[in-house]
Amino acid sequence: MNIKDKPTIYLMPGMAASPKIFERLHFPNTYDIHLLDWIMPEEDESLAHYASRLASTITAPNPILLGVSFGGIIMQEVAKQINYKKVVIISSVKTQYELPKKMLLARYTHLHKLLPVSAISHLEFWKRFSFSEAMNKRLTLYEKYIGLRSPSYLDWSIDRIVNWQQKEPLPRTIHIHGDKDPVFPIQYIKNAVVVKNGTHIMIINRYKWFNENLIPQLAIED
């Protein structure tokens, strides 16, 4: 198959994660795969403007856009600006109504602005509050998947998630969600492909499920 004829998938990691989170996903060679990464937001940059800068790096026509967590929100914003085949969101939300109540509360109280993001951006912060050696080892293991995490980027990201405005799901959206996701709890999620015992990081620790089920989901006609 000529590369121009291959379906193209652009993959966007979650907040502060690197594209390495996709390293264990296996795609057939009939797909052309591109890994996207976070770019630093400009001061007070809107989500739409940020998405337009990211969209300018997407050159393939009519691609499949796949994003994890906040990356799923970003890819939906990109989809509003280009022609796309499908949007796939993993461990994310399709509308503002799927955000958990604590995030909606933060929208109106601005409590999220009090988070110590400069401390949270360092892995040692999480190790300090870990209660087991096993958890410390897991945190060290996951450090390889950490990407951009400057305080200004984290501040911007958290604020844009909390204040995201989208009332209806975009057409041709596939939503894959774990029933044990603590960030975006399943009780707020509608019309998703549910992964049993999947958590917010299931793209990493449930990669076998995705290798068995993701491509069949993409093949389903709308």
pLDDT tens per residue across span 170-220: 999 999 999 999 889 999 999 999 999 999 889 999 999 999 999 988 877
Given a cut of 80, whether residue 132 has pLDDT beyond it is: no
In this structure, is the dihedral angle defined by the CA atoms of residues 103, 109, 110 and 116, taken in order, positive or negative?
negative
Phi, psi dihedrals of residue 33, rounded to the nearest 5°:
-105, 130
Ordered domains of the chain (ranges, CATH): 3-219 (3.40.50.1820)
What residues are paired with 195 via a beta bridge?
A: 178
pLDDT tens per residue across span 17-63: 899 999 999 999 999 999 999 999 999 999 999 999 999 999 999 99
Q: Averaged over 131-154, what is the pLDDT?
A: 66
Report yes or no: 88 and 174 within 8 Å, Cβ to Cβ. yes
| Nearest in space to 163 (alpha carbons), one of 105, 115, 92 | 105
Q: What pTM, to 2 d.p., does this model score?
A: 0.86
Report yes or no: 182 and 200 within 8 Å, Cβ to Cβ. yes
Question: CA of 178: how far to CAs of 141, 145, 199, 208, in Å?
Answer: 21, 20, 5, 14
Rounded mean pLDDT of the chain? Answer: 85
